[in-house]
Structures are given as structure tokens and as C-alpha cells.
């Protein structure tokens, strides 16, 4: 048996039996881990209010290599109460956690993804920008973290570079822009939005209008749907 002690984010909680919960965490050290929380539906000193979404918690798990580990202890280490005061922030945070739950493989360390999700939740909590803009940039980062980065600079089929000052055809399900010689795509992305998307992938914080954020979110959702069951 191995003891896992790590900061974590709660991705999902499902009632099990009369008083237990099956909880899924994104842990900083071990990636996505599902566990049984004995008595988790009841107030207890071991759990307290730690099994709530959006907060960072420190968990201790007994992992015997089975499908479910056993949650021994959970305590909140970073409260994000500001998220729940804004319905748009709640929706954005919930979407980010849903993406992670479906995209990240089980028991595979994903420290970059953990850092990205934490940063998104912090930004939503602090209300630094519009929630959908925060989510759009976070979604691009998450795809990059897990190896599914969208290509905005060159054709995904032939590798031909696309000049910075040009709009391009783009197919998120195929991984990015597609030049006309390779068949193109129905959707198009402006030169300005391409540059903003590439800046976001580099870790910068581009200014996005509501329309920009909506367009990038559509691309992110398309890319994730092509890679995992993100329904």
C-alpha cells in the first residue's frame, strides 16, 4: 500500500451507499485519482467542508493499486469563496473541472495541468477578467499541457507556415489551421485572434473581447471533444 499526500482539486463527487462518497481529485503529485470517502456525506473532523469544488485541498490517500483509493483525510488549504458569488464564474470553473476530468488520464502526473487549473480558479476567484476570457485562455493552456496544443502558426497537415497577418481556415478536431492546399476547413480565424491565441499559449495574457472569447472557447471545446469524451 502506498500513501499519497498531495494538494488536490475536487473534480467530482458522487454519493455511494448510505453515507459514503466516490470522489475524483486532480492531485498535484499523482494526477487524477478516484477514491472512496467513508462517511464523506456526513460532517466529520477528517473531512469537514473540504469536499467542495473550487478550493485547493490537501488530501491523504491510501492507494493499493485498485480502481479506488481510500481517502483518509482532506483539509482546505486555499479557499476560493469569490467564485460562488458569480454565476458566470461558477459556470466557467465547473467547465474547467469537467474538461480536466475527461481529458486527463488516471494516475498520470500532470503538474502543468494542475498549475493551469489552479491559476484559472485563482483568476475566477479574484475576478481579474471576464470569466469566459479566463476560461478560453485556460482551455488553450490545458490542451498544451496534456499534449493536444492547437496549431495556430502552421498547417497541421503539411506544416506550411501561415503569415502572421493572414486569416486562416481552422479545424479544431484536426488540431489547428489547415491550408487550402490540404483542403482547408469550414471555420476561419482572423489574424488578430490567431496572434492572441498564440500569445495565450506562450503564457501571456492577451486582451479578449466577448466575441474573441466565444470563438476560442468553440475551438477549445472542439479540440477536447476530438480527444476525449467531454460531453
pLDDT tens, N- to C-terminus, the chain (231 residues): 889 999 999 999 999 988 899 999 999 999 999 999 988 776 555 566 789 899 999 999 999 888 899 999 999 999 999 999 999 999 999 999 999 999 999 999 999 999 999 999 999 999 989 999 999 999 999 999 999 999 999 999 999 999 999 999 999 999 999 999 999 999 999 999 999 999 999 988 899 999 999 999 999 999 999 987 554
Measured in residues, the chain has a length of 231
For the chain, strand residue ranges (E) read 2-16, 20-27, 31-37, 56-63, 69-78, 168-171, 176-177, 187-189
Q: Are 99 and 139 in contact (CB under 8 A)?
A: yes
Q: What is the pLDDT of residue 45?
A: 53
C-alpha cell at 93: 470553473
**The pLDDT of residue 155:** 98
Structural domains of the chain in order of their starting residue, each with its CATH number: 2-78 (2.40.50.140), 83-227 (1.20.1440.120)
pLDDT of residue 58: 97
Can you give the pLDDT at residue 230? 52
pLDDT score at 227: 84
Res 203: pLDDT: 87
DSSP class of residue 181 equals G
Amino acid at each position: 500500500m502506498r500513501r499519497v499526500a498531495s494538494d488536490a482539486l475536487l473534480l467530482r463527487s458522487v454519493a455511494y451507499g448510505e453515507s459514503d462518497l466516490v470522489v475524483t481529485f486532480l492531485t498535484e503529485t499523482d494526477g487524477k485519482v478516484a477514491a472512496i470517502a467513508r462517511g464523506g456525506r456526513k460532517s466529520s473532523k477528517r473531512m469537514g467542508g473540504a469536499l467542495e469544488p473550487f478550493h485547493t485541498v490537501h488530501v491523504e490517500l491510501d492507494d493499493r493499486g485498485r480502481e479506488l483509493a481510500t481517502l483518509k483525510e482532506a483539509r482546505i488549504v486555499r479557499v476560493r469563496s469569490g467564485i460562488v458569488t458569480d454565476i458566470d464564474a461558477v459556470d466557467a470553473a465547473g467547465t474547467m473541472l469537467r474538461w480536466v476530468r475527461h481529458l486527463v488520464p488516471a494516475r498520470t502526473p500532470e503538474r502543468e495541468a494542475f498549475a493551469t487549473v489552479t491559476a484559472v480558479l485563482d483568476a475566477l476567484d479574484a475576478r481579474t477578467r471576464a470569466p469566459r476570457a479566463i476560461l478560453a485562455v485556460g482551455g488553450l493552456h490545458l490542451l498544451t499541457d496534456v499534449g493536444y496544443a492547437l496549431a495556430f502558426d502552421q498547417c497541421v497537415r503539411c506544416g506550411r507556415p501561415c503569415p502572421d497577418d493572414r486569416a486562416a481556415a481552422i479545424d479544431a478536431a484536426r488540431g489547428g489551421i489547415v491550408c487550402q492546399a490540404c483542403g482547408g476547413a469550414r471555420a476561419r480565424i482572423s489574424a488578430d485572434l490567431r496572434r492572441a491565441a498564440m500569445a495565450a499559449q506562450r503564457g501571456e495574457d492577451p486582451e479578449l473581447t466577448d466575441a474573441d472569447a466565444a470563438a476560442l472557447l468553440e475551438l477549445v471545446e472542439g479540440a477536447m471533444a476530438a480527444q476525449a469524451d467531454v460531453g
